Amino acid sequence: MKALVTGGAGFIGSQVADALIENGHHVEIIDNLFTGRRENLPAKAVFHHLDIRSDEIHDVFARGGFDVMFHLAAQMDVRKSVADPAYDAQANILGGINLLQACKNTGVKKVIFSSTGGAIYGEQVEFPAKENHPQNPCSPYGISKLAFEKYLQFYYSEYGLKYISLRYANVYGPRQRGDGEAGVVAIFFERLLAGQKAVIYGDGEQTRDFTFVGDVVKANLAALEYSDIGAFNVGTGIETNINELFDIIKEIVGSKQGRIHEPGKPGEQRRSVIDHTKINNAMGWKPQFTLRQGLLKTAEYFRKL
């Protein structure tokens, strides 16, 4: 199968591309390298250094003859989306529509979209949230992801372009960055290993559903084999607050730093945890890594940097 991976030089996208190649698929990657890294690119993938908003995208699709597009390229920082909603919309909505037009025009059969399970639901009223939970995003990032899911529904109903929307919890693991790709796990590891100050914003009692990247890659592969359409949560269903997370990482790296709190950031949810029953029933997917197992593997990666 011929697969295009947008954002394929990034934290999750590069590992999806690796897995596709390992499974015998031809892979091409589009990435603007704003946050992705060349060293993440699989040697066997064809790389196109492009922004997804570029008109040149259409030439890549015309030459590629792709069967499926894994769409991971995004502006994915909640705080940046609050500071600059227009840029967030340009990247996540207009860039996405550019890709969907290219898919429609070149006969792509399926889109597997990396959405968000936390930010789409907003402040939850049910824990963990199922896919039919009210969708009230607290940030422009969540709004843009939800809007693109609606465009996927339109392109399916109008043009027959199949789609799977994978609503990720808070993904962490090797190749995540503490700067360009915001992730508290990566930030804590980078700073504590370097002996630098690691800050907890707010009281640290806010919760997240931390899901290991290896499990997320397996969800993408499962979605490739699934014949129907729809949105599916990809998470553990387990809440962990940021204070607890800090304490576990501190213990793993052997740091003596205590908790340092600073004021909370706008646009961030208080509690976020999602239910994975639907994807388990439909595709047989469930998380394999506990939080401690995933953090230990993540620590191995950061110690080698």
Q: Which residues are catalytic?
A: 141
With beta carbons less than 8 A apart as the criterion, state whether 96 and 147 touch.
no
The Cα–Cα gap between 109 and 104 comes to 9
The Cα–Cα gap between 118 and 61 comes to 31
Tokens at 251, concatenated: 């213990």
Residues in the chain: 305
The Cα–Cα gap between 110 and 162 comes to 5
| Residue-wise burial string across 190-215, b where 16 or more C-beta atoms lie within 10 A, e elsewhere | bbbbeeeebebeeebebbbbbbbbbb
With beta carbons less than 8 A apart as the criterion, state whether 170 and 116 touch.
no
With beta carbons less than 8 A apart as the criterion, state whether 116 and 142 touch.
yes
The Cα–Cα gap between 289 and 279 comes to 16
- Secondary structure element (H or E) that encloses residue 233, with its range: strand 230-234
**Amino acid at site 133:** H
With beta carbons less than 8 A apart as the criterion, state whether 153 and 166 touch.
no
Burial of 180 (0-12, 13-18, 19+ CB in 10 A): middle
**CB-based contacts of 305, cutoff 8 Å, min separation 6:** none
